[in-house]
Amino acid sequence: MASISFNLKFSPTTAGAAPVSTTAVMSFLPRNPSLSLFCLNSASFHHAPESHTFATRIYQTPVICSSTLRRRPEYIPSHISDPAYVRVFDTTLRDGEQSPGATMTSKEKLDIARELAKLGVDIIEAGFPAASKDDLEAVKMIAAEVGKDVDGEGYVPVICGLARCNKNDINAAWEAVKHAKRPRIHTFIATSEIHMQYKLKKSRDEVIETARTMVRYARSLGCQDVEFSPEDAGRSDREFLYQILGEVIVAGATTLNIPDTVGYTLPSEFGQLIADIKSNTPGIENVIISTHCQNDLGLSTANTIGGVCAGARQVEVTINGIGERAGNASLEEVVMALKCRGEQLLGGLYTGIRTQYIVMASKMVAEYTGLHVQPHKAIVGANAFAHESGIHQDGMLKHKGTYEIIAPEDIGLFRSNESGLVLGKLSGRHALKTRLLELGYDIDGKELDNIFCRFKTVAERKKPQVVWSLGDMQVTCGTLGLSTATIKLIDTNKEEHIACSVGNGPLDSAYKAIDLIVKVPVTLLEYSMSAVTEGIDAIATTRVLIRGEENHTATHALTGETIHRTFSGTGAGMDIVVSSVRAYISALNKLLGFEMPSGPKNHVEESQVSV
Ligand code: KIV
């Protein structure tokens, strides 16, 4: 008998125990039609209400998060009419793309740029046009499409191209962005001693001269919006910074971006740097100060907020915090920190971000770059709104504000289970009672004690029952004909069942062959794969989410709504088709286990060879 190792992936906080409920972290459904991109079947997704206001629902007191409904000030490159407004400059498509392995196609970049515009970012840094012809074309396309699409309120993002301080780069950047309604050139040169000496091999005077000449050159092309960055400002000499920044202001720079290029500074130190620049740079009152904080010490969000508190009014950020090395400040963290605490602690600072699109943008970026978000990542991690321990669950049931400072809907996350509870071995009676009520059972007293006892026994089990395990499989595919799969599954009586199927590719044929044996109609809702090791012999992990078409529903006690249960499964293997088959069988086993609360029924019919 072939053995199969299931890579069971439950809620990471359950420490190996199987959750009883499938309404774990997967019970959040991003409400946006375009998400169907990432789902093989998006029937259960609903449309997000289209809203052009900048604030959505936030918990009332005692939840801390609050926000004010304000309009975005009119765009003027070097000036913001409202001193509390913070511009969001998204560099997912430029610095984010510099993450190892995150290369995106032009079409993917265009999709992301559209999503960023939906999110309401003020500036999209669309790429580095001098880097390659492809980059130039991608930025051009984004400028021509997203950069011209003015909405009913007059909003259109600025489209920005990065350029080193030389004519060739600046010409390419201008060529790429000039057709946008609001084009910007962002030019940079390093100012720290270590960069000037070893990388540029230029003296301070030469660096100042280059910066001044190139900013003037960018303006001379007709670009009214020029950003200048002294690269590695975090490690640059202060007096030198004041001098070069003063010179580029005279040359026509409209935004001065202060990069902590190697993520070296601490929050108070970066805040002081911004404050010092604000106090000592001649002409600074005529331009916007910006932050660009890398995350090498995990401080990028804190440093960005420190910079804003000290007077910066543009933040350079990326979706999911992706970027060179350890990444950048993440848009969702910075924006939600300002939204949550801006009113109360930061003098009313606010952004123009439509936060209800955050989850969508995060999913799209993760999907296109292949850089998956860690489950415990702030704001967009799968566990960011999941509550597992009994004490927390009890608090959540009494008032959501006890353990949530943001309403999940505010970032576009809608739970299918209202309380957001993950039932596991740490859950208490209160959580179980509530979940039962949601399912239509109002149970108390001895009966509840009895169910709680049985629930704990199941929750503490490490693995669900294995109804089907993979025996062998063979798949042929290629360009010459239809893909064919032969699958051998083993049932609980150790009998073998073999089926063959053709399909549109190796996975389709393998899953169809499994369906012929298992004979339980399901819909594949999600499929994702990631490599957990490097190289050609990498181990791939696959995760699938399925929904049973029959008998997998429950009625919500309060709303009377029918809830469709979903089941996830994971598999691992060096062969990606084997890994995918394992994931599918793992999900099917959970679904079959759900049908059989008192242990698996005999789902296995007579031994068969079906084709
Ligand atoms: O990290 C950095 O210094 C940069 C600049 C080009 C802004 O990415």
Residue 267: HSE in the Cβ half-sphere, 13 Å Cα cutoff: 12
Phi and psi at residue 412, to the nearest 5°: 90, 25
DSSP 502-521: EESSHHHHHHHHHHHHH---
- Ligand 1 touching residue 188 (CB < 6 A): yes
C-beta of residue 484 within 8 angstroms of C-beta of residue 500: yes
- Beta-bridge partner residues of 547: 523, 566
Q: What is the mean pLDDT of residues 508-523?
A: 95
Contact 347, 354 (CB under 8 A): no
Stretch 189-200: mean pLDDT, rounded?
97
* Cα separation, 539 vs 555, whole angstroms: 40
For 373-411, the pLDDT digits (tens) are: 999 999 999 889 888 777 887 888 888 888 889 999 999
Residue nearest to atom 1 of ligand 1 (CA): 261
Q: Is the dihedral of CA 402, 44, 435, 421 positive or negative?
A: negative
Give the residue, 244 or 400, on which the prediction is more confident: 244
Q: What percent of the chain has pLDDT over 90?
A: 61
CA of 290 to the centre of ligand 1 (A): 12
What is the predicted pLDDT for the residue at 52? 34
Q: Is 282's pLDDT higher than 70?
A: yes
Residues in contact with 286: Cβ distance below 8 Å, sequence separation at least 6, in sequence order: 78, 79, 249
* pLDDT at residue 418, rounded to an integer: 58
Say if residues 51 and 357 touch (Cβ distance below 8 Å): no
Query: pLDDT: is 413 or 215 the higher one?
Result: 215
Alpha helices in 299-438 (DSSP H): 300-309, 331-345, 358-369, 390-398, 429-438
Instruction: Compute, in degrees rounded to 10, the torsion defined by CA atoms 502, 508, 513, 516.
Output: -110
Give the angle subtended at the CA of 481 by the CAs of 477 and 486, to the nearest 5°: 45
How far is residue 320's CA from residue 577's CA, in Å, rounded to a whole number? 29
Q: Which two tokens stand for residue 223?
A: 């670009």
Closest atom, ligand 1, to C-alpha of 257: 7
Cα 176 to ligand 1 centre (Å): 19
Give residue 426 CA to ligand 1 midpoint distance, Å: 45
Q: How confident is the model at residue 40 (pLDDT cuts 50, 70, 90)?
A: very low
The DSSP output letter for 13 is G
Pick the range with the lowest mean pLDDT from 170-174, 217-221, 275-279, 461-465: 461-465
Which residues share a beta bridge with 161? 127, 185
- CB distance 256 to 286 below 8 Å: no
pLDDT at 59: 41
Q: Whose CA is nearest to atom 5 of ligand 1?
A: 231
Q: What distance in angstroms lies between residue 235's CA and the mean position of ligand 1's atoms? A: 13
